[in-house]
Structure 1
Amino acid sequence: MPGALDGLTVLEFAGIGPGPFACMMLADHGARVIRIERPGGAGRFGDAGNRDILNRNRERLALDLKDPDAIAQIRELARSADVLIEGFRPGVMERLGLGPEVLLADNPRLVFGRMTGWGQEGPMAPLAGHDINYIALSGALHTYGPAGGKPSFPVNAVGDFGGGGMLMAFGVLAAVFSAQQTGKGQVVDCAMVDGAAILSAMTWSFFGNGQWRDQRGVNLLDGGTHFYDTYETADGKWISLGSIEPQFYALLLERTGLKDDLAFARQMDPAAWGPLKAKVAALFATRTRDEWCALLDGTDACFAPVLSLGEAPHHPHNAARGTFVEDGGMVMPAPAPRFSGTPAPAPSLAGRS
């Protein structure tokens, strides 16, 4: 059965990180994605990236971008494509003769996605950078980490993938919808600094309304409280709590035996959070992670074990949903989200024919 994006044709210029992730999302759901690579393969793992999950479900085309015949071939492909996604620095595509002015003249309905860290304009636009830099400049990185400690970055999820690739996938599909209504394509300027900022919209809302202190680790959702944090267990493993709502908090206190400690009635008092966190940490250190799971799994206490990459695919919930799949000996996340009428095809590391 074809996926939800069956009939959409995307040209992808090979890169790393957010561009491939955006194209993986589109390809997962049925788009035909033609990945243009350097001769010899552009994958980080060799063999044209056949071990790179981000490159799954693609057709691959090796072209030398210094060859005028290759440029002519790309222009011909772009005439019938719906979307083009590239992640070069500003100006590179123009110097190749493949800029948006040229390609939109060839195909007025084309959506031209441009994936960069700093955007197509602004004083930092021509500079190099990585996820950690983009989320730093957006203000997001300042909010991650323990109280009194240094900023802690969540690998490269916020800049590269959430604020970059996912925003690009949304952006090009929005532009495709517009092109279907108007007959006119356009450029999608997707900058990871912008994306990291918009992912923090709730935090900015809290901050603007005086509900967020401009410090790390002292707020409702950043580990400042005793009921929204991670705790080490007796076996050196970890669990997570997110018991914000009063009824879920009450259930947590009941199941853990803390309900008779009147100090825990001060749930939303920031002055009480430090002492209460120390009590909760001491409590969770008395049993193993599995013992806490036996006590709190299957309840509305907003509890979950912190699973390793090796453990996560085998958790009963993930296994029941098929959250992870395997292809060619590689375990990887399954396509998401789920569609009832046009489910995503099984992912293939070998690509599509």
Structure 2
Amino acid sequence: MTTPALLDGLRVLDLTRNLPGPFATRMLADLGASVVKVEPPEGDPARALPPLFDALMPGKTTRRIDFRQAADLDELRTWVCDADVLVEGFRPGVMASMGLGFEALRALQPRLVMCSITGYGQSGDWADRAGHDLNYMAMSGALDQMRGADGQPVMSNIQWGDLAGGSSMAVVGILAGVWSAQRTGTACHVDISMTHGLMAHQIMPLATGAMMQPLLGRQPGAREDMLNGALPCYSLYATADGRTLAVGSLEHKFWSLVCQTLGHPEWTDRHWQRGLLPNTPASDALRAEVAALIDSQPLAHWQALFAGVDACVTPVLTLAEARQHPLFSRQHREPWVIRHATQPAQA
């Protein structure tokens, strides 16, 4: 299934490297924008990882300039005159030092949307500090929310700081800027801080942590918050073959189905919506009972048992398994499926 070219005609200059900016412009390209990736003579460092670089390049064309040469910067300025969006990921002040600051660029293109992606924003005490995804995860508090059963923080192999705090926030900001520029004719500078973007994504732990604190007398830790393991109905359970079953029956109607399917209808009303408070001995006891049952059979057994039961119970697939699953292997689609109306609206 092909995504409609909703951004057809949008011209984007991408000066970014590595992951956050290139993934943002990859999303814009997927939606039909014309993206020109501008690289230094040595190329984007991501070229050292060809599969990564190739994954970020569909729909883009490439040009190279030497950012240290005045003539090359002049050429870049001519490209800016025809652009709608410019995305950069240099440290704060670097663009201005090359004569490419926001005020200079808006003089060339009065409707330009300039997006700057940095770790900590364009101003403040941390603005000039170096960092990577792991640092942004750590400083935002997001990494603290990812703990194993032993209570220690775990490293995700998905770069949430780069992608959620950076790329996704950048695309939202860029599209909002383009909407404004088209209506007002005024340029704008979209300042994306990946660390602050991650903080904005923590709406659930901030809310549920406030709920759990009175019960615990402190902020919840590993497996103590509503959605990170404190609820028996919403947790991960080890199977007999060392795999994992994800039970996401947060609502009582789903939990009731789970209990019936597992052959334990007596568990049905042992649910948080029926008054079973998390982090209590009764709740912990139920979780241990469920864990012992799930651990008695391999993952394939539970997959077969729940195959026809719509109760929010799924296997934890490896990436290789996920790519071969019918959900993906038989349903080739983009992240966005946008359907245009086929009939004109009635007057």
TM-score, reference length from structure 1: 0.87
Cα 1:236–1:85, aligned 2, differ >3 Å: closer, same or farther? same
Partner of 2:184: 182
Give distance in 1, aligned partners of 2:44 and 2:63.
11
8 Å contact kept, 2:12–2:87: yes
Cα 1:298–1:178, aligned 2, differ >3 Å: closer, same or farther? farther
Which shifted more, 164-173 or 130-139?
130-139
Secondary structure (helix, strand or coil) at the match of 1:190 reads strand
Equivalent AA in structure 1 for residue 288 of structure 2: A
Give distance in 2, aligned partners of 1:261 and 1:153.
34
Partner of 1:351: none
Q: Does 1:111 align with 2:121?
A: no
Give distance in 2, aligned partners of 1:162 and 1:50.
17
8 Å contact kept, 1:83–1:113: yes
Give distance in 1, aligned partners of 2:11 and 2:213.
45
Deviation at 1:142, TM superposition (A): 2.1
Partner of 1:285: 295
8 Å contact kept, 2:26–2:59: yes
Equivalent AA in structure 2 for residue 253 of structure 1: C
Secondary structure (helix, strand or coil) at the match of 1:44 reads helix
Q: Percent identity?
A: 38
Partner of 2:321: 311
Aligned length: 331
Deviation at 1:69, TM superposition (A): 1.5
Secondary structure (helix, strand or coil) at the match of 2:47 reads coil
Equivalent AA in structure 2 for residue 249 of structure 1: W
Measured against aligned partners, the alpha-carbon deviations of 1:74-99 in whole angstroms (never above 9, x if no partner) come to: 11111111110011110111111111
8 Å contact kept, 2:233–2:271: no
The one of 249, 256, 275 equivalent to 1:250 is 256
Q: Does 1:239 align with 2:245?
A: yes
Deviation at 1:20, TM superposition (A): 0.9
Measured against aligned partners, the alpha-carbon deviations of 1:108-165 in whole angstroms (never above 9, x if no partner) come to: 1000000001000110110011222212222222222146611224334321101110
Structure 2: 5+ residue stretches without partners: 342-347
Equivalent AA in structure 1 for residue 151 of structure 2: G
Cα 1:46–1:147, aligned 2, differ >3 Å: closer, same or farther? closer
Residues 102-251 of structure 1: pairs in structure 2 closer than 5 A: 102-146=104-148, 149-208=151-210, 214-216=219-221, 217-251=223-257
Partner of 1:298: 308
Q: Which has the higher helix share?
A: 2
Partner of 1:341: 340
TM-score, reference length from structure 2: 0.88
Partner of 2:18: 16
Partner of 1:45: 47
Deviation at 1:68, TM superposition (A): 1.2
Equivalent AA in structure 2 for residue 243 of structure 1: S
Equivalent AA in structure 2 for residue 292 of structure 1: W
8 Å contact kept, 1:240–1:305: yes
Give distance in 2, aligned partners of 1:113 and 1:139.
25
Partner of 2:27: 25
8 Å contact kept, 1:234–1:288: yes
Q: Does 1:93 align with 2:92?
A: no
Cα 1:262–1:89, aligned 2, differ >3 Å: closer, same or farther? closer
Deviation at 1:36, TM superposition (A): 0.4
Deviation at 1:298, TM superposition (A): 3.3
Give distance in 2, aligned partners of 1:42 and 1:146.
35
8 Å contact kept, 2:10–2:34: yes
Deviation at 1:263, TM superposition (A): 8.1
8 Å contact kept, 1:263–1:276: no
Structure 1: 5+ residue stretches without partners: 324-334, 343-353
Give distance in 1, aligned partners of 2:308 and 2:110.
54
Deviation at 1:41, TM superposition (A): 2.6
Partner of 2:345: none
The alignment yields a C-alpha RMSD, in angstroms, of 2.3
Deviation at 1:33, TM superposition (A): 0.6
Deviation at 1:191, TM superposition (A): 0.3
Cα 1:235–1:62, aligned 2, differ >3 Å: closer, same or farther? same
Equivalent AA in structure 2 for residue 317 of structure 1: L
Measured against aligned partners, the alpha-carbon deviations of 1:280-314 in whole angstroms (never above 9, x if no partner) come to: 22111122212111111232211111111111111
